[in-house]
Chains A and B, each alone.
Chain A
């Protein structure tokens, strides 16, 4: 039926040139191999649809999934997503493993676009019993880590069935260890770290890094906000030096000291009850007190900056082993 329709359409539509890039113009002085193949617009599209029906669907999906892998490996993520969504819409005739592969790859492209919610949605559609079930669970767990849903990530990792002395068992431990560090759950870290044997080259370096992060986190001693504030009270900017900032204190000094000098001069010349001193002294007082408060808070700010940096490195070291083991 469709074939007959296609033939009728073929006859009805005007014939066009295959390589008709753009219309003729007097600018053209260089044309390239001007042979042309005659075919019709709708004929080709319809024929393609007919061919789709004739194709062995397993072969078709297998070929398309290979093509999607090629697109992803050559970092053409938007093309890959376009292809995969098209495949997903046609996937009723695909076998379950192929459907899983399509969902996995869609999730994977979203993961690399850092759209973690979408990635989780698609990775959740992959059956845990399929060939790629385990790797999709690992990617889903790291997506959950990125959106700071550590408990859900741990549940997924703990439910992955692995054999003893298997690389996946140790990879699971590595991921759980990293989550323990992200949660600052050092008790969990201590219980898991003995299982990091470093015998798998794919992530032995990351296992070492986890130890370093643990040391950095546990050895970090937060500075006292009281001391920082006290030092800034003694001399503006000193508290920020104590907290760990290098450049910031100079800005504080350049603002506060001239104001102090102006206030002192006003006190000497006009007296402490004079309007000039009240105005200038108040101005200095605001800056002085604000600087003490800022120095006390800077202790927490610098701690957060250091912890955030360590967290970024931990997540990166969770991601790299997944790439090495599964792709």
Chain B
């Protein structure tokens, strides 16, 4: 939620000054929006889409409708609305506004691949000013996809647009420090964890960094083998020893392999969240 708040601030900043194509068609909907009747305003913007044949007007209406939906805390509906935009015959500024807002809505609903593709298109087809303007949110999106090198590159582009040399150098130092290779969270492969636990029970949990979990698995699998051994060699209950002892061993062995994969994912998630929240704080402080 924190990151959503962060990016919302970025988005607010971003659309400052956006003024679209003035048209009396929007007056009523705009007045509703300004009075915070967002649901009604969204409907009236949709009506503009319904009534117009002009793609520019339609696009502006969709952007405004999406903004109303975002105000209603409906980012999924906002993204769906924005994905209806046809980019034929739009000028660069409108393409930028549409793609940026789509990227923002996608970020809010954690559809990072969609967000990335929108920012990538800004990067590929629009000039550096637009690229730099979208860089902070693009970087936040790339962070979530573990593409830190690319995120760093985007933020450096953004910093390079600052005219004050001292401030620019200072920002670039901050960015370089935050995106240092040695700070990147170490990735634990869930498959490796699972294979390790299959070979030696508990080793996958150790690899994922969960010592208590590993010790418990080792204890239970050993207990299973011990019960089997005692049953067979001490009490001469061969079948009972095998069924109960091996049954316990097998349960904890196979469950341990699955759990170690889960724990690797959990560890990756926690590390990613911790690192990305530091980066998000850093990106916000770049203002």
Please list the residues of chain A having a beta carbon within 8 angstroms of any beta carbon in chain B: 16-37, 39-45, 48, 67, 70-71, 76, 78-79, 82-83, 86, 258-259, 261-262, 264-266, 269, 276, 280
**Sampled A-B contacts (14; CB under 8 Å):** A16-B34, A18-B30, A22-B13, A24-B17, A27-B133, A28-B15, A29-B161, A30-B129, A30-B133, A32-B19, A36-B19, A44-B28, A71-B46, A266-B240
Binds A, one of B92-100, B182-190, B196-204, B269-277: B92-100
Residue in A21, A32, A70, A78 whose CB lies within 8 Å of B67: A21
Residue in B10, B24, B133, B240 whose CB lies within 8 Å of A37: B24
Residue in A23, A35, A261 whose CB lies within 8 Å of B19: A35
Q: How far is the CA of A24 from the CA of B129 in the complex (A)?
A: 18
Q: How far is the CA of A37 from the CA of B26 in the complex (A)?
A: 10
Q: How far is the CA of A79 from the CA of B65 in the complex (A)?
A: 11
**Inter-subunit contact B10/A27 (CB<8 Å):** yes
Contact with A along B219-245 (1 / 0, CB 8 A): 000000000000000001111100110
Chain B: minimal CB distance from A6 (Å) = 12
Chain A: minimal CB distance from B63 (Å) = 9
Residue in A16, A32, A42, A45 whose CB lies within 8 Å of B93: A32
Chain A: minimal CB distance from B263 (Å) = 27
B interface size (C-beta, 8 A): 51
Chain B: minimal CB distance from A125 (Å) = 23
Q: How far is the CA of A36 from the CA of B97 in the complex (A)?
A: 17
Q: How far is the CA of A258 from the CA of B247 in the complex (A)?
A: 10
Given contacts A18-B26, A21-B67, A44-B28, contact A265 B237 (CB under 8 A): yes
Contact with A along B39-53 (1 / 0, CB 8 A): 110110011001000
Q: How far is the CA of A83 from the CA of B243 in the complex (A)?
A: 67
Chain B: minimal CB distance from A77 (Å) = 11
Please list the residues of chain B having a beta carbon within 8 angstroms of any beta carbon in chain A: 10, 12-24, 26-28, 30-32, 34-35, 39-40, 42-43, 46-47, 50, 67, 77, 91, 93-94, 96-97, 129-130, 132-133, 136, 161, 236-240, 243-244, 247, 287
Given contacts A26-B287, A35-B22, contact A79 B46 (CB under 8 A): yes
Residue among B40, B67, B94, B239 with max Cβ neighbours from chain A (10 Å): B239
Chain B: minimal CB distance from A50 (Å) = 12
**Inter-subunit contact A32/B20 (CB<8 Å):** yes
Q: How far is the CA of A41 from the CA of B132 in the complex (A)?
A: 35
Q: Tell me which residues across on chain A come within 8 A of B46, comparing CB atoms.
A: 71, 76, 79
Given contacts A28-B14, A79-B42, A262-B239, contact A36 B22 (CB under 8 A): yes
Given contacts A30-B93, A79-B42, A82-B43, contact A25 B18 (CB under 8 A): no
**Inter-subunit contact A258/B243 (CB<8 Å):** yes
Q: How far is the CA of A21 from the CA of B237 in the complex (A)?
A: 80
Q: Beyond the given A20-B19, A44-B30, A259-B243, could you list 11 further A-B residue pairs with CB under 8 A, ordered by the A residue number?
A: A17-B19, A20-B34, A28-B14, A30-B129, A33-B93, A37-B22, A37-B27, A48-B28, A79-B43, A262-B243, A269-B237
Chain B: minimal CB distance from A80 (Å) = 9
Residue in A45, A67, A79, A266 whose CB lies within 8 Å of B31: A45
Q: How far is the CA of A33 from the CA of B96 in the complex (A)?
A: 13
Q: Tell me which residues across on chain A come within 8 A of B243, comparing CB atoms.
A: 258-259, 261-262
**Inter-subunit contact B31/A44 (CB<8 Å):** yes
Residue in B32, B39, B96, B287 whose CB lies within 8 Å of A30: B96
Q: Tell me which residues across on chain B come within 8 A of A48, comparing CB atoms.
A: 28
**Inter-subunit contact B30/A45 (CB<8 Å):** no
Q: How far is the CA of A79 from the CA of B38 in the complex (A)?
A: 12
**Inter-subunit contact B26/A23 (CB<8 Å):** no
**Inter-subunit contact B31/A41 (CB<8 Å):** yes
Q: How far is the CA of A265 from the CA of B10 in the complex (A)?
A: 72
**Inter-subunit contact B19/A34 (CB<8 Å):** yes
Residue among B32, B243, B244 with max Cβ neighbours from chain A (10 Å): B243
* Closest partner residue, chain A, to B34 (CB atom): A41
